[in-house]
Amino acid sequence: MTWFPLLLVQGDVMLRTVEVTESDKPAPDRPVRKQKTARETIVLARGEKSGHAHVVRGKGLRLYRDPVAELLVPSGLYIGTLVLSGPATLTHEEHAAIPLPANTTFLVTRQREMSARSEREASIVSD
Amino acid sequence: MFPTSRAIVELNRAALDATIDEWSKIPTSTTPMDVQASEAAIRQLYHEAGLPSCANALEVRFADDPVAMVHEASVERKAGPVIQNRLQCAAMVNLDLLIDRELWLKIHHRVHSRFSRSRVTEQIWELINTETLTRRPRPHMARRIPDCILPTYVTSSLVIPDVAGKLAGAALPLGTQALLTLARSCGLVLPRQSVCWLSERPAEMHFNEQGLFNHPDVPAVRFHSGLKFCYWHGARVPADVMIPRESITVALVKEQGSIFLARLLIERMGIGRFIRESGALLASQDRTGRLFVEPLINSLGDQLWAAVEVVNGTPEPDGTYCRYYLQVPPQFTHSARAAVAWTYGLRPEDYVVTVRT
């Protein structure tokens, strides 16, 4: 899997572009959760207190969980893999919108902070 | 005739989901126990298990909280053995008798995709185990506490029969119905042969986003009996650190004999305020943020505390930029970029932001 240097941050949510090569494509027996039908709106994360949400709007959006991609990020941070077949926009009530290019696959992750309980534990940031 | 899998489409899916949602709320319910319904259900369950269930043979006792219930049950000498396994077997239902397999699979999938299992029960168990550690059960209750308690806690194994029974329009076996009634109407149940204890639910519970007991200012769990426990993101904390936020001082933070309690007090007083009042060292500063470090507990060795200050990428309506603070592991004492990158699960060299808002 090759990482392109396109890294978008909207508050506590990060999108990184990811190129899917032939070798990365799921083998028939790889347990990738079935991709949902393409949608026009996807809520990536919602704030615990404010209820404000990071929302992607566009056409032909798909979000799915890839267990292999999940292994690439620390535990609990992975939201999903976002596939855009057309241009889209990432919006939030308190952050400026970010345009997302078409025909792109993003790894979507959250932000963490160290838990008061232990240096080895982290809690998810939720603004 | 059994309904087929197509029946699930024809039935009101909203009603199906409403049932699942109703079950999802039960573990966090603080509704007082329905004494009459609970007692009738437990007697029915004893009866279905082939155990004496009349008032002369079975005494049903009500406890104000599960800790009192376990304590009383563990010192009671004449109640006979713990029989939760026997009752559980009597409540098990063979769904093959109710619905066809295809429909069962659809229900199973729907319940598992929609029903969110609560972490309340496991936390109450942990609480009971901790509280009763010094009062080891007598030999007739030598098993672990969770093994003595009837699984009336809500899991998908309770939800699926209820949903399936409604869809099939068939009455569930009486033992199963009794178990479902208990789950709906009371807290934990500890059954012994001739005495069964039913405990109240908590009167008040507070959780964080992960479903762990948590409240920054008041006890996260409180029972009608007056028993109460303070929690911080799932960890039990002494009540004396839950003083009003404005009363917390840097000196109090540094007096703590535990790094956990010190961090907890910092979180409660506010990281920004702690940095200002402690005069924390600005260890690193770059485009990503500002890293502050402060020694916390000298008596236990060199315990460093670190936090990074990050500025929002988007201005507030008044044109100012909101700052927020994140605690980071203390090894990040050299680079703000490394600390901020860690918060996103990245190495510092990979944290090269294209757009940030």
B28 and B90 both lie in a single domain: yes
Q: Does B302 touch chain A (CB under 8 A)?
A: no
User: Does residue A106 sit within a domain?
Assistant: yes
Q: What is the per-residue pLDDT for B302?
A: 66
CA nearest to A97 within chain B = B357
The verdict on residue A70 lying in a domain is yes
Inter-chain touch B357–A112, beta carbons under 8 Å = no
Q: Looking at the structure, tell me whether residues B238 and B332 fall in a common domain.
A: no
Number of separate domains in chain B = 3
Residue A78: closest C-alpha in chain B: B345
In degrees, to the nearest 5, what angle opens at C-alpha A36 toward C-alphas A31 and A41? 140
Residues of chain B with pLDDT under 70: 1-12, 93-97, 117, 133-146, 153-154, 297-302
Residues B214 and B136 in one domain: no
| Within a domain: B357 | no
Q: Is residue B355 part of a domain?
A: no
Are residue B128 and residue B216 in the same domain, yes or no? no
Amino acid occupying residue B38: S
Whether chain A has a CB inside 8 Å of the CB on B113: the answer is: no
Let me know if residue B256 belongs to a domain.
Answer: yes
Residues whose CB is less than 8 angstroms from the CB of residue B4 and which lie 6 or more positions away in sequence, other chains included:
B100, B102, B103
Q: Is residue B55 part of a domain?
A: yes
- pLDDT over 80 at A16, yes or no: yes
Q: Are B325 and B319 in contact (CB under 8 A)?
A: no
Does B356 fall in a domain? no
Q: Does residue B311 sit in the same domain as residue B261? A: yes
CB contact under 8 A, B352 and A7: yes
- What domain range is B296 assigned to? 245-350
Instruction: Please report whether residue B150 resides in a domain.
Output: yes
In angstroms and rounded to an integer, the radius of gyration of the C-alpha atoms of chain B is: 26
Could you tell me whether strands A88-92 and A39-46 are parallel, antiparallel, or unpaired per DSSP bridges? unpaired
What phi, psi does B278 have (nearest 5°)? Answer: -90, -15
Instruction: Tell me what pLDDT residue B45 has.
Output: 94
- B4-32 exposure pattern, b = at least 16 Cβ within 10 A, e = fewer: eeebbeeeeeeebeebbeebbebbbeeee
Q: First CA to last CA across chain A, in angstroms?
A: 31
Kindly provide the b/e burial profile for residues B37-53, where b requires at least 16 CB atoms within 10 angstroms of the residue's own CB.
ebbbbbbbbbbbbebeb
Q: How far apart are the first and last CA of chain B?
A: 60
Residue A119 lies in a domain: no
Claim to verify: residue B188 and residue B217 sit in the same structural domain: no
Residues B192 and B210 in one domain: no
Which of A113, A123, A124 has the CB atom closest to B328's CB atom? A113
Considering the domain architecture, whether residues B259 and B317 belong to the same structural domain is answered as: yes
The H or E element that residue A55 is part of is strand A53-64
State which residue of chain A sits closest to B355, comparing Cα positions. A8
Q: Is residue B219 part of a domain?
A: yes
Residues of chain A positioned with their CB less than 8 A from the CB of B234:
117
Residue B90 placed within a domain:
yes
The larger pLDDT score, comparing residue B332 to residue A95, is at: A95
Asked whether residue A125 is assigned to any structural domain, the reply reads no
- Per-residue pLDDT band at A35 (split at 50, 70, 90): low
Contacts of B210 in chain A (CB under 8 A): 123-124
Residue B340 CA to residue B285 CA, distance in Å, equals 11
Considering the domain architecture, whether residues B276 and B159 belong to the same structural domain is answered as: no
What pLDDT digit, counting tens, does each position of B74-110 carry? 888 888 888 888 888 888 766 666 777 777 787 888 8
Q: What pTM, to 2 d.p., does this model score?
A: 0.71
The complex's ipTM works out to: 0.88
Range of the domain at A44: 2-20+36-114
Q: Do B27 and B167 sit in the same domain of this protein? A: yes
From A22's Cα to the closest Cα of chain B, the distance in A is 24
Same domain, B283 and B236: no
**Domain contains A27:** no
- A15 domain residue, yes or no: yes
Say if A73 falls within a structural domain. yes
Query: What is the maximal distance between C-alpha atoms in chain A?
Result: 43
- Total domain count for chain A? 1
Out of A9, A116, A125, the one facing B233 most closely (by C-beta) is A116
Q: For residue A124, which residues of chain B lie inside 8 Å, CB to CB? A: 209-210
Cβ contacts of B86 within 8 Å, gap of 6 or more: B49, B51
